[in-house]
């Protein structure tokens, strides 16, 4: 057996799910604590739902020592190399797309222009 079933531990606001998994090199049990999303809701039903999901994933072959996510096999996007001017303009476009107020964008644009001028000097 590669893992011990997950258990719910602690009390709100410090609840967590713990499980043990055998280390592939040493064959010793390694302890894992999962805090993600469990303290957002105080209901017992939600806690049990997260615990069930953790145990289900362990049964399906989740391995915390693997870097590859077996549930998300999408290839990682290639990193794009930016020069600083292109990166700053990309920042402005993304923030406009997020729906920032025009007053905020008006403050960013001159600051970026001054920064670019300073970099060129």
What are the domain boundaries of the chain?
3-60, 84-120
Residue 40 or residue 3, greater confidence: 3
Residue-wise pLDDT tens digits, 27-71: 889 888 888 777 777 788 888 888 898 899 889 888 888 765 555
Largest Cα span, the chain: 63
Q: Is the pLDDT of residue 109 over 70?
A: yes
At 75 the pLDDT is 63
Distance of alpha carbon 46 from its chain centroid, rounded?
20
Q: In what order do the strands lie in the sheet with 3-9?
A: 3-9, 16-22, 29-34
* Centroid of chain to Cα 23: 23
Rounded CA separation 18/32 (Å)? 6
Interacting residues of 78 by C-beta distance below 8 A, sequence separation 6+: none
pTM, rounded to two decimals: 0.51
Q: Are 33 and 21 in contact (CB under 8 A)?
A: no
User: Residue 56: its pLDDT value, please?
Assistant: 92
Which range among 11-15, 33-37, 73-77, 108-112 shows the weakest confidence by mean pLDDT?
73-77
Better-predicted residue by pLDDT, 22 or 99: 22
Of 92, 91, 90, 112, the closest CA to residue 120 belongs to: 112
């Amino acid at each position: 057996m590669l893992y011990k079933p997950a258990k719910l531990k602690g009390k709100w606001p410090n609840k967590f799910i713990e499980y043990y998994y055998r280390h592939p090199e040493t064959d010793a049990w390694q302890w894992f604590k999962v805090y993600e999303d469990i303290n957002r809701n105080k209901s017992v039903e939600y806690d049990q739902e997260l615990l069930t999901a953790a145990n289900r994933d362990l049964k399906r072959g989740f391995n915390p020592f693997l870097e590859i996510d077996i549930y998300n096999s999408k290839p990682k996007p290639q990193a794009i190399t930016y020069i600083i001017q292109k990166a700053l303009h990309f920042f402005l476009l993304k923030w406009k797309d997020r729906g920032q107020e025009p007053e905020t964008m008006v403050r960013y644009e001159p600051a970026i222009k001054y920064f670019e001028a300073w970099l060129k000097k």
